[in-house]
Amino acid sequence: MAAIIWLAVFFFLVALLYSSVGFGGGSTYTALLILSGITYQSVPTLSLICNIIVVTGGVWQFARAGHINLARTWPLILISVPAAWLGGNLVIPEKLLVTLLGFALVAAGTHLLLNWKPVEAGDESRNVPTPATLLVGGGIGFLSGIVGIGGGIFLAPILYLTRWGSARLIAATCSLFILVNSLAGLTGQIMKTGLETATGNISEYLPLFIAVLIGGQIGSRLGSFSLSQTFIKRATAALILVVAVRLLVRTWL
């Protein structure tokens, strides 16, 4: 029980930091669960549940504020949802999953360290061709389903590089993308192993769910306080990269 409590403390911190920059934290939850020695088959399911808890609040807030643009977002989601379900259904060796996860964490940390220039208000309607959007969404969804994450950490850099929209629009889009793909990936994981194997004794992990719920709610409001977004991003990036290095070293050395 003591190990779960300590893990819950780390989950709280991850949820707080990730939600403050518009993400769920799935990649880092997965890494922490693997490092803690929890049964490999249960890891993606637990991580995705935590992801869903965190981003649901963010999607609700973005929707209430009118920042979710379904007309522009649907091409990203259309293929990503079945692709995430398919990825979640695949059985892959633990070493391959951990390697993919390690690189996902490196990508996440690098993204947060970069100072992306948001699109100006007058450019927010800039569109990427629908076929390219479908391809990007499907590819990210498939990879996310395999690893057991929502995929927003892959999507955000692409949207910034293509100047797809404002920082707020991108954050809202990524939150929705993470939510629907986490739900699809979770469904795939459960269908792959069965509900009992996928979740194990889920009541043991209730402290983790409570931790991310509280951390996510606090983190989503951090931008309103004096702590700067630059500081939050760098602190989050440092945490992610430390976990990534430890995970890859543990796997390959």
Q: What is the DSSP string of 218-244?
A: HHTTGGGSSS-HHHHHHHHHHHHHHHH
Q: Give residue limits of the domains in the chain.
A: 2-252
Query: What is the predicted pLDDT for the residue at 49?
Result: 93
Query: Average pLDDT, stretch 15-34?
Result: 86
Query: What is the predicted pLDDT for the residue at 121?
Result: 53
pLDDT in tens, 52-86: 999 998 888 888 878 888 888 888 999 999 999 99
pLDDT greater than 70 at residue 1:
no
Q: Give the CA distances from residue 242 to residues 51, 84, 194, 228, 237, in Å, rounded to whole numbers and listed in that order.
A: 20, 27, 33, 22, 9
**Average pLDDT over the chain, rounded to whole?**
83
- CB-count exposure of residue 120 (10 Å: 0-12, 13-18, 19+): exposed
Regarding pTM above 0.75, the answer is: yes
Distance CA 160, CA 74 (A): 18
Q: Give the CA distances from residue 192 to residues 89, 163, 215, 232, in Å, rounded to whole numbers and listed in that order.
A: 5, 37, 30, 37
Distance CA 97, CA 33 (A): 13
pLDDT in tens, 160-172: 888 887 777 888 8
Amino acid identity of residue 5, one-letter, is I
Neighbours of 40 (CB within 10 A): 12
